[in-house]
Chain A
């Protein structure tokens, strides 16, 4: 995955709560079997509206309302945001699966309290560049929480499948000790 340390950039404001992944990338683009090229379809339906907030805004940081990325598990949503040019999403909270998907690809989800998000939105609207620093765990100077393991994986761009494959002995031991599972190969 893409490694991330820090970014300093203008920020894009999308001040709406509960932005679901169906809006981030509508279903018709989920039929592709590639992992790239989703950026041009980001917020496809909303982009058709000339009044949509994203028009005229540029930056590598997206600041959004609570529960960003709720709904569908489609990782395409995280791919689309990253492909469009975002490195960081700041919001008061995230849909769990979206947050997990983002961490897996090097798109940093930053959760800070709602009042801090509003303050960052104000600063972004004023044209200020913000720095999101994963080493220090700060966004625009505001500290955010991210567990050490996720931080390490992001800083190093680690492939966590490779990490887990190093646990082969533990996995095999678990399998040997566990009760037998229903086999999908012998359903008759």
Chain B
């Protein structure tokens, strides 16, 4: 019987296997940021240990950094950023600090630098590490103790997860994006449906996506509870990696390519679970509640908790509606927003910005909306500016900011005020995620841009009528 992509990557990284003990996996790339690493470095220091492979480790500053010239970071953030710089210096870990020109959201810069490659294992002290699986890598989010473990040993003991394949078939309607695919999948699977599993996203609708779209999908695997998400590498993947700074060159490239082509799941391989989603049935998605599984099509309405059979789900929906200040039955298109955030490791790559700019071009942000666009990395910002996207946004009334995690998690000056309602291209609509008391609705970049202009949830195609 053939093996899955996941099996092939897992098996080729087992350093040591013993009965009754988790496999010890080799880690090819360890990405580090300021928030989840200080205690790990401190622990290394206290136990007199070193970083085993600084050459397989890369740090950047993203969560706490300020994205505006006007807003300095607070003293605690300053201290944490300083600690990262000192730790990298002391342990010899390369760091792309703010202002280096290569900084950015850790899950944007890995692929951008060509470090994220098919068939490798990647960890980072961040749950959205699943993003990198878009290249056919096995990328796992870990906590600080495991960050320390990988720094010290370049390995991680792991129990082999189960496998789930989600096949996306059919042709999407115009205006339906990768973000809508993954939100619809989470809506179907539920936020705990993926626990203990690695998801492989497959099928013609996935193969038709760009790397940016695939990254968006794998990014949100964790929102379904999954350990990781993966997509088989193909010509789209290879073309993206080729000639990037970290990519193999010359003969090494040819050898890598040969190996990468053997990675896709064998047709005979069996998954623990399978799910099929017809993307022709998907409409642009908008979350209404306080987890990413609480999602409906933009043409829908806020659901009535009374319609839920499961009492736990009903109580959770009631709490979510109270927090979100929404009434059951309200059409999604009638919900007005005060803020729009286009950014995050989910949707801040060049293609996302092009899509949002395409919608915004020639329009004006609604007078009651404050909208910001935050590129995922310094490189994305440069490229967008070279393409004139920044001018499109600024002329339309969007703020054009510096790279960082920004308002995805509000660990920096970009936050919602209590009660503010935001259409956001990020990945989590948890209570207070974007600022205490803030109300987050997750959407695609296209819907976010259209919503900024309409002042309420809207699709790009509605804007023409709005102007008329």
Binding site for B on A (CB under 8 A): 15-18, 20, 22-23, 26-28, 30-35, 45, 65-67, 70-76, 78, 93-98, 100-101, 104-105, 147-149, 160-161, 164-165, 167, 170-171, 174-175, 178-188
With A and B bound together, what is the CA distance between A161 and B410 in angstroms?
33
Task: Tell me, rounded to whole Å, the shortest Cβ–Cβ distance linking B312 to chain A.
Answer: 5
Known contacts A23-B431, A35-B39, A65-B312; A96/B227 CB under 8 A: yes
Contact of B127 with A72 in the complex, beta carbons under 8 Å: yes
Contact of A184 with B159 in the complex, beta carbons under 8 Å: no
What are 13 A-B contacts defined by CB distance under 8 Å? A18-B192, A22-B433, A27-B409, A32-B80, A70-B191, A96-B227, A100-B146, A101-B144, A104-B145, A160-B149, A164-B24, A184-B246, A186-B55
B458 located at the interface, meaning its Cβ lies under 8 Å from any Cβ of chain A in the complex: no
The contact string, 1 if C-beta is below 8 Å from chain A, for chain B 397-440, is: 00000000000011100000000000000001011110010000
Question: Which of B28-36, B264-272, B358-366, B377-385 lies at the interface with chain A?
Answer: B28-36
Given contacts A26-B432, A76-B144, A167-B24, 18 further A-B contacts (CB under 8 A): A17-B313, A27-B411, A34-B39, A66-B312, A71-B430, A73-B142, A101-B145, A147-B159, A149-B20, A161-B49, A164-B155, A165-B49, A165-B153, A167-B15, A181-B55, A182-B115, A184-B54, A187-B94
B117, B127, B154 — which one has the most chain A CB atoms within 10 A of its CB?
B127
Contact of B430 with A22 in the complex, beta carbons under 8 Å: yes
Contact of A95 with B145 in the complex, beta carbons under 8 Å: no
B394 located at the interface, meaning its Cβ lies under 8 Å from any Cβ of chain A in the complex: no
With A and B bound together, what is the CA distance between A33 and B82 in angstroms?
11
With A and B bound together, what is the CA distance between A71 and B248 in angstroms?
34
With A and B bound together, what is the CA distance between A180 and B259 in angstroms?
13
Known contacts A18-B191, A20-B430, A161-B149; A73/B252 CB under 8 A: no
Contact of A31 with B64 in the complex, beta carbons under 8 Å: yes
User: Given A28, A33, A96, which contacts B38 in the complex, CB threshold below 8 Å?
Assistant: A33
B357 located at the interface, meaning its Cβ lies under 8 Å from any Cβ of chain A in the complex: no
Residues of chain B within 8 A of A178, CB atoms compared:
26
Contact of A32 with B36 in the complex, beta carbons under 8 Å: no
B68 located at the interface, meaning its Cβ lies under 8 Å from any Cβ of chain A in the complex: no
The contact string, 1 if C-beta is below 8 Å from chain A, for chain B 236-272, is: 0000000001111000100110010000000000000
Contact of A182 with B247 in the complex, beta carbons under 8 Å: yes
With A and B bound together, what is the CA distance between A13 and B461 in angstroms?
48
Contact of B57 with A184 in the complex, beta carbons under 8 Å: yes
B143, B144, B157 — which one has the most chain A CB atoms within 10 A of its CB?
B143
Contact of B315 with A95 in the complex, beta carbons under 8 Å: no
With A and B bound together, what is the CA distance between A75 and B126 in angstroms?
10
Contact of B227 with A180 in the complex, beta carbons under 8 Å: no
Determine the residue in chain A with the shortest Cβ distance to B226: A96
Contact of A171 with B153 in the complex, beta carbons under 8 Å: yes
Task: Tell me, rounded to whole Å, the shortest Cβ–Cβ distance linking B65 to chain A.
Answer: 12
Contact of B149 with A73 in the complex, beta carbons under 8 Å: no
Known contacts A75-B143, A171-B155; A16/B319 CB under 8 A: yes
Contact of B152 with A70 in the complex, beta carbons under 8 Å: no
User: Given A18, A28, A95, A147, which contacts B316 in the complex, CB threshold below 8 Å?
Assistant: A18
Contact of B94 with A185 in the complex, beta carbons under 8 Å: yes
Residues of chain B within 8 A of A171, CB atoms compared:
15, 24, 26, 153-155
Residues of chain A within 8 A of B102, CB atoms compared:
187
Contact of A45 with B431 in the complex, beta carbons under 8 Å: yes
With A and B bound together, what is the CA distance between A167 and B21 in angstroms?
13
With A and B bound together, what is the CA distance between A167 and B141 in angstroms?
23
Known contacts A33-B79, A73-B126, A164-B24; A185/B55 CB under 8 A: yes
B343 located at the interface, meaning its Cβ lies under 8 Å from any Cβ of chain A in the complex: no
Determine the residue in chain B with the shortest Cβ distance to A1: B145
B22 located at the interface, meaning its Cβ lies under 8 Å from any Cβ of chain A in the complex: yes
Residues of chain B within 8 A of A27, CB atoms compared:
409-411, 433
With A and B bound together, what is the CA distance between A102 and B141 in angstroms?
15
Determine the residue in chain A with the shortest Cβ distance to B26: A174
With A and B bound together, what is the CA distance between A121 and B432 in angstroms?
27
With A and B bound together, what is the CA distance between A105 and B142 in angstroms?
14
Determine the residue in chain A with the shortest Cβ distance to B435: A27
Task: Tell me, rounded to whole Å, the shortest Cβ–Cβ distance linking B118 to chain A.
Answer: 12
Contact of B155 with A182 in the complex, beta carbons under 8 Å: no
Residues of chain A within 8 A of B433, CB atoms compared:
22, 27
With A and B bound together, what is the CA distance between A35 and B36 in angstroms?
10
With A and B bound together, what is the CA distance between A8 and B187 in angstroms?
39
Determine the residue in chain B with the shortest Cβ distance to A26: B432
Task: Tell me, rounded to whole Å, the shortest Cβ–Cβ distance linking B115 to chain A.
Answer: 5
With A and B bound together, what is the CA distance between A170 and B20 in angstroms?
18
User: Given A18, A28, A70, A184, which contacts B55 in the complex, CB threshold below 8 Å?
Assistant: A184
With A and B bound together, what is the CA distance between A179 and B192 in angstroms?
36
Task: Tell me, rounded to whole Å, the shortest Cβ–Cβ distance linking A78 to chain B.
Answer: 7
B291 located at the interface, meaning its Cβ lies under 8 Å from any Cβ of chain A in the complex: yes
Known contacts A149-B22, A184-B56; A167/B115 CB under 8 A: no
Contact of A28 with B411 in the complex, beta carbons under 8 Å: yes
Residues of chain B within 8 A of A74, CB atoms compared:
35-36, 143
Known contacts A45-B436, A105-B145, A147-B20; A185/B192 CB under 8 A: no
Residues of chain A within 8 A of B120, CB atoms compared:
181
Determine the residue in chain A with the shortest Cβ distance to B129: A73
B56, B152, B153 — which one has the most chain A CB atoms within 10 A of its CB?
B153
